[in-house]
Structure 1
Amino acid sequence: MCEYSTLAEPYKIKMVEKISLIPKEEREKRIAEAGYNQFGLKAEDIFIDILTDSGTGAMSDHQWSALMLGDESYAGSRSFYRLEKSVQNITGYKYFVPTHQGRGAENVLFPLLIKEGQDSISNMHFDTTKAHVELNGGRAVDCVIPEAYDTGLNHPFKGNMDNDRLEKIILEKGAENIAFIIITITCNSAGGQPVSLKNIKETKKIADRYGIKIIFDSARFAENAYFIQKREEEYRHCSILEIVREVFSYGDAITMSAKKDGIVNMGGLIAIKEDLELFNGVRTRVVPIEGFPTYGGLSGRDMDALAVGFTEVVEESYLSSRIRQVEYLGKLLSEGGVPIQNPVGGHAVFVDAKKFLPHIPYYNFPAQALCVELYREAGVRGVEIGSFLLGNDPDTGKQLESALELLRLTIPRRVYTDNHMEVVAKALINIYKRRDEIKGYEIEEEPEILRHFTAKLKPVE
């Protein structure tokens, strides 16, 4: 590869969308009206929106062209079969059902596998995954390696499963009380951290020993494969697609929010390796919840765009450019003294709010306070991954304390330039200089589940 090709994005920009920064006094007003919850802000209130990488990426010319091929037949759509071929190509799995997004996949699959009182064990559950486990009478147990909680430690695979602890939990609970093991790639709640293939193989051996299914929560499967290629010597000369296929070979089923590594605005899927009985259960459940099995909540044009997205996401030039931009933001923040999760993950930079705001206790949500302050400072919308998101204990109703209090700066795919990253970094560095002035928040009203989306907060006096 020519050295110059690594210095520029592997694409040209054909269309732009205007954004603007509203005055600071207006930002103060808008965030207060939103109950100090960034999810309550309107899009026009935002200058740089790095709330999520889910469905916020820019599609390619080939994807836009694919939209015109969309077959909107209710049953047996040609678009479905094109997407099925694409999914089978990357996963090696026999069976596939589309869903409108990842949480739709969980809502269809989990009730078929979880019995009341069973545990789901994961490296780390994401918020909707944890919610769907609990809604079906289960308990979500996180089992990531201890190194994940030390943001200053530079470990290549902080998303790894703690397999010694995993086996201890299985022996203590009894294999019959474990619904399944979820491997989240990359491990979002730990900072977008990858899971090594060596670790996945070890987890698979334990799962087979006790007859437990492995499900991949695979929203960022290609980014995880890129880190494997760069950090595991054994796979240095493998293609991204070869690594992806090997990773999935150690699972029994997949849930995916394709709004991430599918590089589309809407889409998800369930893929099942070979369990026909489970597949038939999925096909039955998907009809009343998502839609007919050959569209599952998606239009034909969405399925065609996703089929193309799955071919583009495994291109090394794309992944290299994408991850380099995330690393660039991390580098700027580190040079400015801002504490972040090291090494930088695949889709986001995670600011360590515990270190940034040590004077704010977990029950006053330091990462949420930092999220609000970033919007006030520069019109930038990030998201809290900490005690506010973690919520209350389902048994006692008391606030849980998260091991990590993180502000996630999530970079949409092929959307922003490095100049935007510099604005974000400058804003956080400015806030860091006056961090002692920042106050925490308390909840005024909240729903029972997934409260961080709609809860209202107020500043602590």
Structure 2
Amino acid sequence: MSHEPIQTVGQQYRRRSWAEPYKIKMVEPIRMMSRPEREAAMREAGYNTFLLKSEEVYIDLLTDSGTSAMSDWQWAGMMLGDEAYAGSKNFYNLEAAVRKHYTHRHVIPTHQGRGAEHLLSQIMIKPGDVVPGNMYFTTTRFHQEHAGASFVDVIIDEAHDPAVILPFKGNVDLAKLERVLTENPGKVPYVCLAATVNMAGGQPVSMANARAVKELCSRHHVPVMCDATRAVENAYFIQQREDGYKDKPVDEILREFCSLTDGATMSGKKDPLVNIGGWLSVNDDKIAEQARNLVVVYEGLHTYGGMAGRDMEAMARGIEEAVQDDHIRARIGQVEYLGELLQDWGIPIVLPVGGHAIYLDARRFYPEMPQTSFPAQTLAAELYLDSGVRAMERGIVSAGRNQKTGDHYYPKLEMVRLTLPRRVYTQAHMDVVAESVQAVYQNPNKPAGMKMVYEPEALRFFQARFEPL
């Protein structure tokens, strides 16, 4: 597979076509419901795409979490599940794969990524602590705040501007980070380094920035914990964009990046190509011992952590497949394909295109709509009504409320995320999505927005209900 230009008649150049590095062996039928059916489904779901039934969805771009298609090799591994309660051989296969590619010594399995976030927060955070990170993520910040800490955003300012184009828009602002470390001695349990940065549009962190963060934190005796959910995608961007890495394979870049961290929380439902599972990996012996003790209380024994043996085997094999250059090139290539279509048609999206999703800029879709009328929530609903495509709000609803004041957080980015599952859809599906986005953007009858009629106490974007204004 090549992305290189080829010479054609008249010395003109074009990019050569490429295809996914797999062939389809099994299919799942889908259907688009009629417009009246979609309208009824949207009303029943309270205009929240999370509350739609999957059978009501035509193309599901809600999330890439647990929605990937597994390979024949992974399915074969499922038949080798060792379901022993303790000491499953599949755990040791998973442990070996994590150590090989993510470098950390100790591996504590969990049922998914937020289980790892919970363990880390309960072990390392005490009330009054401050946790710096390169932009918040919803569940990560919740666990940090639930344990008594305050989150401080130390990402570069450009990450909050959807129109700014930088190769590594997820980078930590070192001056911001040093200020937090200096002003809070003894109160920073760790720095959370996300790679890539989901809420910024799937933006990567450079190797140089990760190394500088590690050096700064070492001077202050503060560990660096990586949100490694999409670290393979981050490694691909380093290969493509950072000097000195063009000829290095993605798996080698991933190991180098992770070696600059002291541990990681991981949702295996993303990069590792499985439908459930995760882990907490650390180098520190004491933290590992505490995690093994705590995982028994909340997740399961330290050699299964809420997963079946077959799930651990599928994840161990998925880790090996995820770092293959052909796979990650095609995975991100499909995201780029959708992004290029939308850019060609003048659709406002977050730039540059990130690794796992296209982020529509809802503010520019509805420039007259106040943020308190939930532009991104409105846009996600309109997209479903147009075509049956399910997307996710990533704006004021996802940002939630300040636990102390009760006020909304007002993020600068008000986005709708079109998240591409791995190895699931074809380019034809992407064409349908792009045409639907274009239709909604060009529709002269702009909606007035939404009002929230039910708000859960925590992580409201999952279950909140709305009505059109």
TM-score normalised by the shorter chain: which range applies?
over 0.9
Q: 2:170 aligns with which of 159, 184, 189?
A: 159
1:238 positional shift: 1.4
- Report what 1:216 is aligned to: 226
Q: What code does the residue aligned with 1:408 have?
A: R
Mapping of residues 174-253 of structure 1, within 5 Å: 174-253=184-263
Q: CA offset at residue 179 of structure 1?
A: 2.1
5+ long unaligned stretches in structure 2: 5-15
The answer (yes or no) to whether the contact 2:350–2:358 under 8 Å persists in 1 is yes
For residues 261-272 of structure 1, the aligned pairs below 5 Å read: 261-272=271-282
| TM-aligned CA deviation for residue 358 of structure 1 | 1.0
Partner of 1:76: 87
Whole-angstrom distance in 1 between the partners of 2:2 and 2:186: 54
Q: 1:387 to 1:239 in 2, by over 3 A?
A: same
8 Å Cα contact 1:175-1:211 kept in structure 2: no
Structure 1 counterpart of 2:46, from 18, 21, 35 = 35
Could you tell me whether the CA contact under 8 Å between 1:357 and 1:436 is conserved in 2?
A: no
Change in 2 beyond 3 A, CA 1:413/1:117: same
Matching residue of 1:387: 396
Structure 1 residues 3 and 34, CA gap change in structure 2 (3 angstroms)? closer
* 1:362 and 1:402 in contact (8 A); partners too: no
In the other structure, the counterpart of 2:127 is 116
Q: Secondary structure at the match of 2:453?
A: strand
Superposed displacement of residue 317, structure 1: 0.4
Alignment match of 1:438 (pick from 412, 423, 447): 447
The partner residue of 2:457 within 431, 448, 453 is 448
Cα gap change, 1:3 to 1:146, in 2 (>3 Å): closer
1:150 is displaced (CA, Å) by 1.8
Work out the CA distance in 1 between the residues paired with 2:17 and 2:221. Answer: 45
Distance in 2 (alpha carbons) for counterparts of 1:202 and 1:319: 26
Q: Please name the residue that 1:406 is paired with.
A: 415
Equivalent residue number for residue 383 of structure 2: 374
- The separation in 2 between residues aligned to 1:442 and 1:177, in whole angstroms, is 39
Letter in 2 for 1:309: G
Look up the match of 2:316. Answer: 307
1:440 maps to amino acid: G
What letter is aligned with 2:214? K
Q: Residues 86-97 of structure 1: matches in 2 within 5 Å?
A: 86-97=97-108
Deviations 1:154-197 (A, max 9, x none): 1101111111111112223x231212100111100000000000
The answer to whether residue 298 in structure 2 is matched with residue 319 in structure 1 is: no
Q: Measure, in 1, the Cα distance between the counterparts of 2:356 and 2:430.
A: 13
**Does the CA-based 8 Å contact 2:2-2:18 persist in structure 1?**
no
Q: Answer whether contact 2:161 2:412 (CA < 8 A) is retained.
A: no
Q: Distance in 1 between matches of 2:36 and 2:238?
A: 46
Q: Is the 8 A contact 2:66 2:273 kept in 1?
A: yes
Q: C-alpha distance in 2, partners of 1:109/1:2?
A: 41
Unmatched 5+ stretches in structure 1: none
One-letter code of the match for 1:64?
A: W
Q: CA-to-partner distance for each residue in 1:42-70, whole Å, 9 max, x for gaps? A: 01110000000000000001000000111
On the 8 A contact 2:130/2:152 being kept in 1, the answer is: yes
Give the SS at the match of 2:393.
strand
Q: 1:11 to 1:278 in 2, by over 3 A?
A: same
1:228 shift after superposition: 0.2
Match of 1:288 among 280, 294, 297: 297
Residue 72 (structure 1) shift: 0.4
Does the aligned pair in 2 maintain the 1:99–1:267 contact within 8 Å? yes
Distance 1:108 1:147 in 2: 32
Q: Provide the aligned C-alpha RMSD in A.
A: 1.2
Find the residue that maps to 1:339 and give its secondary structure. coil
- 2:7 aligned residue: none
Q: 2:371 and 2:19 mapped to 1: Cα distance?
A: 41
- Select 1:101's aligned residue among 108, 112, 125: 112
Q: CA deviation at 1:456?
A: 1.1
What is the SS of the residue equivalent to 1:233?
coil
Identity of aligned residues (%): 47
**Shift in Å at residue 458 of structure 1?**
1.2
AA partner of residue 255 (structure 1) = T
Is 1:23 equivalent to 2:52 in the alignment? no
Runs of 4 or more above 4 Å deviation = 1-6
Task: Tell me how many residue pairs correspond in the alignment.
Answer: 458
The alpha-carbon deviation at position 6 of structure 1 amounts to: 6.3
Secondary structure in 2 aligned to 1:178? coil
Instruction: Give the 3-state SS of the residue equivalent to 2:256 in structure 1.
Output: helix
The answer to whether the Cα contact below 8 Å between 2:273 and 2:422 also exists between their aligned partners in 1 is yes
The amino acid of 1:229's aligned partner reads Q
Is contact 1:76–1:294 with CA below 8 Å preserved after alignment? yes
- Specify which of 310, 319, 339 is matched with residue 330 of structure 1: 339
Write the distance in 2 (CA, Å) between the matches of 1:186 and 1:73: 35
Instruction: Tell me the distance in 2 between the aligned counterparts of 1:43 and 1:426.
Output: 21
Give the secondary-structure state (helix, strand or coil) at the position aligned to 1:121.
strand
> Is 1:129 aligned to residue 140 of structure 2?
yes
Taking the aligned partners of 1:200 and 1:186, their CA distance within structure 2 comes to 12
> SS in structure 2 opposite 1:18?
coil
